[in-house]
Amino acid sequence: MADTAGKPIDCKAAVAWGPKQPLEVRTVTVAPPGPGEVRVKIAATALCHTDAYTLDGLDPEGLFPCILGHEAAGIVESVGEGVTSVKAGDHVIPCYQAYCGECKFCKHPDSNLCVSVRAFTGKGVMKSDGKSRFTVDGKPVFHFMGTSTFSEYTVVHEQSVAKVDVNAPLDKVCLLGCGVSTGWGAVYNTAKVKPGSSVAVFGLGAVGLAVIEAAARAGASRIIAIDLNPSKFAAAKEFGATACVNPKDHDKPIQQVIVEMTEWGCDYTFECIGNTSVMRAALECAHRGWGTSVVIGVAAAGQEISTRPFQLVTGRKWTGTAFGGYKSRVQVPDLVNDYMAGKTMLDKYITHNMKFDQINEAFDLLHKGECLRCVLTF
């Protein structure tokens, strides 16, 4: 039992005071975990585009002031009343996609959309009392996605924390909390890519590259990587792309380019950007008759997708994925074990390692497109 158990902890955190404002690294007070909650000492946290999207004020659930961050790994400092699945000292990955094992969605074999705490994580508070565990100068600061990993300590629901191998390097497996897992799961769980099939991947950030890695591992015979930034193509080929296309090099819609390259389109297409026009393009270059298009990208609040109904009438399927369809607390440990067994390329997604105090510089790198994943340590 940590000697801090049951007591508030003053620690370093990056506070998002408002949309488009730089994060302020400062002292935050983290209250002890309540019933059904776990306080985690964060060892490493990475930045995902979704953090940037929320900081830009594009997330309808983005509440300020808050502590962002949802891709991390750490060690349990203490647990609240009734917690049985983890204990102090356990190595864990916070999971923004919770898993209770009891709700209708957890019990359904084809869904990971647990609802046990979702109504509360969307409001930046904890389920047991509807309050935040973070305060700055006595004033509450909202949680984010039920994880808030841009802090030396955070408090999460028990449903939102996966226990992982104590020997796993936390500054590497932190990536499994979001983007890379999502790309892999979109291929394996959502699309169920078959050997010999054709795939198109729009957007070559960490998520898109993870789709490519998984599609190659699933035996896809053609993997077309699409991005506006040609500097992304070398990595795409390293991860398994068989062709790279820059829409800027063509004077026709990108979906027409892909259909002409593949005769009728690709068996599977993936949008890994968050751009509703690209989502349409990805659907419309899915193969006539049977193509499946998977939306992974997160679009800004209020944005909608559209296409001609004829695209669906002629057999294309349009779907999406949250966290790659992984049932988090059950399957994240397996992803860690796969990494430990050398089965995945996780290290290659880490392009920068920086100190936590450099978090605003890390966001600049993400915005410049010079970074796949930047891992921050304290």
Ligand X SMILES: N[C@@H](CCC(=O)N[C@@H](CSC=O)C(=O)NCC(=O)O)C(=O)O
* Part of the chain binding ligand NAI (CB under 6 A), chosen from 86-94, 103-111, 201-209, 337-345: 201-209
Among 45, 50, 160, 262, indicate the residue that binds ligand X (CB under 6 A).
50
Which residue minimizes CB distance to ligand NAI?
205
- Pair 187, 59: CB distance under 8 Å: no
> Alpha carbon of 75 to those of 2, 90, 159, 211, 337: distances in Å?
11, 6, 16, 29, 17
Please enumerate in sequence order all residues whose Cβ is within 8 A of that of 153, keeping only pairs 6 or more positions apart, or say none. Answer: 9, 11, 30, 39, 40, 41, 42, 77
Question: Applying CB under 6 A, does 94 fall inside the site for ligand NAI?
Answer: no
CA 208 to chain centroid, in Å, comes to: 12
Closer Cβ to ligand NAI, 48 or 63, answer by number: 48
**Residue 118 in the binding site for ligand X (CB under 6 A):** yes
275 binds, among ligand NAI, ligand X, none (CB under 5 to 8 A by kind): ligand NAI
Q: Which stretch binds ligand NAI (CB under 6 A): 36-44, 46-54, 82-90, 105-113?
A: 46-54
Q: Which stretch binds ligand NAI (CB under 6 A): 19-27, 42-50, 168-176, 326-334?
A: 42-50
Q: How far is the CB of 370 from ligand NAI (least distance, A)?
A: 10
- Closest to 308 (Cα-Cα) out of 283, 275, 287: 283
User: Pattern 173-212, binding to ligand X, x per CB under 6 A?
Assistant: -----x----------------------------------
Give whichever of 21 and 229 is closer to ligand NAI, judged by the CB atom.
229
The catalytic position among 66, 95, 174, 178 is: 178
Q: Let me know: does 96 contact 69? Beta carbons within 8 Å.
A: no
* Selected catalytic residue, list 37, 39, 45, 48: 48
143 binds ligand X (CB under 6 A): no
Grouping H, G, I as helix, E, B as strand and the rest as coil, residue 34 is coil
Among ligand NAI, ligand X, none, partner that 118 touches (CB below 5 to 8 angstroms by kind): ligand X
Task: Return d(Cα 4, Cα 18) in angstroms, integer.
Answer: 31
Residue of 271, 371, 373, 374 marked catalytic = 373
SS3 state of residue 235: helix
231-270 footprint of ligand X as x/- string (CB under 6 A): ----------------------------------------
Shortest separation between residue 118's beta carbon and ligand X, angstroms: 6
Is residue 278 a contact point for ligand NAI (CB under 6 A)? yes
Q: For residues 265 and 284, what is the distance between their CA atoms, to the nearest angstrom?
A: 8
Tokens standing for residue 70 = 């949802």
Q: Check if the beta carbon of residue 196 is closer than 8 Å to that of residue 365.
A: no
Q: How far is the CB of 2 from ligand NAI (least distance, A)?
A: 32
Query: Which residues inside 243-262 make contact with ligand NAI, applying CB under 6 A?
Result: 247
Distances (CA, A) of 135 to 32, 78, 253: 12, 18, 50
In DSSP terms, 66 is beta-bridged to: 16, 142
Q: Which is nearer to ligand X, 99 or 323 (CB)?
A: 323
Work out the number of other CB atoms within 10 angstroms of the CB of residue 195: 8
DSSP 378: -
Among the options 37, 54, 70, 154, which is catalytic? 70
A 10 A CB-CB count for 231 gives 10
In Å, how far are 113, 165, 322 from 278, measured between CA atoms? 25, 38, 18
User: Which listed residue (100, 135, 217, 307) is catalytic?
Assistant: 100
Alpha carbon 141 to its chain's center: 22
Least gap, CB of 212 to ligand NAI (angstroms): 11
Across the strands, what pairs with 16? 66
Pull the structure tokens for residue 237. Answer: 């080929």
Question: Residue holding tokens 């600049």?
Answer: 364
Query: Residue 280 or residue 287: which is nearer to ligand X going by CB?
Result: 280
Residue 51 sits in the site that holds ligand NAI (CB under 6 A): no
Query: Measured from the CB atom, is 30 or 298 closer to ligand NAI?
Result: 298
**Active-site residue flag, 70:** yes
Binding site for ligand X (CB under 6 A): 48, 50, 59-61, 97, 118, 178, 298, 322-323
Q: State the catalytic residues.
A: 48-50, 70-71, 100, 103, 106, 114, 118, 178, 373
